[in-house]
Amino acid sequence: MRLLIAEDEPTLAAQLREALAAAGYAVDVADNGRDAHFLGSEEPYDAVVLDLGLPLLDGLSVLRRWRADGRTMPVLILTARDAWHEKVAGIDAGADDYLAKPFHMEELLARLRALIRRAAGRSSAEIACGPVVLDTRSGRVTVDGKALSLTAHEFRVLSYLMHRRGEIVSRSALTEHIYAQDFDRDSNTIEVFVARLRRKLPPGFIETVRGLGYRLACPE
């Protein structure tokens, strides 16, 4: 899962980047509205944290432009404390959720997990596929109840596939959703991660759909 943080306050932006990376997300940061609008228009984010008070282009305008252009990714807006009118304007502009500053990082993480699950059509915090279960709250993956030890990149690949279980996910989509923008991407490494995951998962769990990508085999 890949996130965009649009926040101009350097300390908060750094805290967000650190907390979200620790939670297993690939993270891009924009410190002004113009860059945020550009990145959100070009890159396939799984969710966006959007401060409304941004330089160059305010957050509300950024959000309105995305929605007018048909960009549907979940957006959580950060508003000033007690500014109820900002929340109303934000939701009217197409925000999916909001948090007033200052907020607890745990609450932001929980709200983002819920937004990402809902966007993938899942309401439960646990996503199961056969014997494999991803607990989106803890970031733990178990197979038949036993915890699986995964590297950060392996986790991102598996988490994305679990959120899209039953769908064919192309290698390029995986690449776009597991790396931050400044990362030196190489789609061949996706095959390496998938090969490593396969050694840790039940046989046949990750299917290769020739010429199209990967799909999780989930018996109902």
**Residues within the interface to Ca ion (CB under 5 A):** 8, 51, 53
Instruction: Output the six-digit token pair for 150.
Output: 């995964």
- CA neighbor of 134 nearest in space, from 165, 173, 110, 176: 165
Q: Which residues pair with 49 in a beta bridge?
A: 5, 76
Nearer to Ca ion, 12 or 218 (CB): 12
Nearer to Ca ion, 51 or 97 (CB): 51
CB of 24 to Ca ion, least distance (A): 26
Instruction: Output the six-digit token pair for 204.
Output: 């046949």
CB of 51 to Ca ion, least distance (A): 4
Instruction: Output the six-digit token pair for 20.
Output: 């979200």
CB of 103 to Ca ion, least distance (A): 13
Element (DSSP H or E) covering residue 135: strand 132-135
Nearer to Ca ion, 26 or 77 (CB): 77
Nearer to Ca ion, 8 or 154 (CB): 8
Angstrom distance (rounded) from CA 103 to CA 214: 38
Q: Are strands 132-135 and 126-129 parallel, antiparallel or unpaired?
A: antiparallel
CB of 34 to Ca ion, least distance (A): 14
CB of 111 to Ca ion, least distance (A): 19
Angstrom distance (rounded) from CA 74 to CA 68: 14
Find out whether 214 and 187 touch, Cβ atoms under 8 Å: no
Nearer to Ca ion, 31 or 167 (CB): 31
Instruction: Output the six-digit token pair for 131.
Output: 């014997």
